[in-house]
């Protein structure tokens, strides 16, 4: 009973242990596939050659949702920019939601302009979450055109600074 209470408490806080080690700067984020809002599956590796922010969030986690909303202006400013070493800038939002209806309502309400929205409705048990070593949300990884992590858990201001320097 105590173990269940601890898991529920961690779940509500957005913190659960993950089996994989959280990748660090210089590491490569494991490739994963996602279907998102479209029928065709996509792969993280398909975005090689571009800068990619992979953001983990959930509709029930206010901080992660607010962080994601802060990215809207930055995305608009940088999505079509030609970088010295990369083609474009993308955001992949990976949700830990377990309810399709709640996830879709959140997307509709938040009006996020990027198309890469992923959710497998498995919460903390999601293979993507496990592979990427996500232990709490919000969590994000900024990848360079080679797929290497160049920043972890950055704010919108830090993201803008980095993108401006590229």
Give the per-residue pLDDT at 64: 95
Question: What pTM was computed for the model?
Answer: 0.85
Establish if 75 belongs to a structural domain: yes
pLDDT tens, 104-118? 999 999 999 998 889
Judge contact between 3 and 63, C-beta under 8 A. Answer: no
Establish if 40 belongs to a structural domain: yes
Total domains present in the chain:
1
Q: Which residue has the tokens 């830990």?
A: 96
φ, ψ dihedrals at 70, nearest 5°: -65, -25
| Torsion-angle region of 111 (φ positive above 0: left; ψ -120 to 50: alpha; else: beta) | left
Establish if 11 belongs to a structural domain: no
Nearest to 133 by CA among 57, 45, 48, 30: 30
The mean per-residue pLDDT over the stretch 147-162 comes to 96
Asked, as a colleague might, if the bond just before 115 is cis with ω within 30 of 0, I would say no
Structural domain of 161: 17-165
Around Cβ 12, how many Cβ atoms within 10 Å?
A: 10
Judge contact between 129 and 137, C-beta under 8 A. Answer: no
User: Measured between alpha carbons, how far is 117 from 114 in angstroms, rounded to an integer?
Assistant: 8
- Decide the pairing of beta strands 51-57 and 89-95: parallel
Give the per-residue pLDDT at 36: 57
Establish if 2 belongs to a structural domain: no
Instruction: At 12, list the tokens.
Output: 């509500």
Instruction: At 1, list the tokens.
Output: 């009973």
Give the CATH number of the domain where residue 40 resides.
3.40.30.10
CA–centroid distance for 31 within its chain? 13
Establish if 64 belongs to a structural domain: yes
**Most confident segment among 12-16, 19-23, 94-98:** 94-98
Give the per-residue pLDDT at 86: 87
Establish if 30 belongs to a structural domain: yes
Establish if 10 belongs to a structural domain: no
- Go through 15-35 and write b for each residue having 16 or more CB atoms within 10 A of its CB, e for each that does not: ebeeeeeebeeeeebbebebe
Establish if 42 belongs to a structural domain: yes
């Amino acid at each position: 009973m105590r173990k269940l209470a601890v898991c529920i408490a961690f779940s509500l806080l957005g913190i659960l242990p993950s089996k994989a080690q959280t990748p660090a700067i210089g590491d490569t984020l494991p490739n994963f596939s996602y279907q998102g809002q479209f029928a065709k599956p996509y792969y993280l590796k398909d975005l090689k050659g571009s800068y990619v922010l992979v953001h983990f969030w959930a509709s029930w986690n206010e901080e992660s949702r607010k962080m994601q909303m802060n990215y809207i202006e930055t995305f608009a400013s940088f999505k079509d920019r030609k970088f010295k070493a990369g083609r474009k800038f993308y955001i992949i939002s990976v949700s830990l939601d377990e309810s399709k209806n709640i996830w879709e309502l959140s997307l509709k309400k938040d009006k996020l302009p990027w198309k890469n929205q992923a959710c497998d409705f498995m919460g903390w048990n999601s293979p993507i979450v496990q592979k990427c070593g996500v232990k709490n949300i919000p969590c994000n990884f900024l990848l360079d055109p080679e797929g290497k992590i160049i920043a972890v858990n950055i704010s919108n201001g830090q993201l803008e600074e980095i993108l401006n320097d590229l």
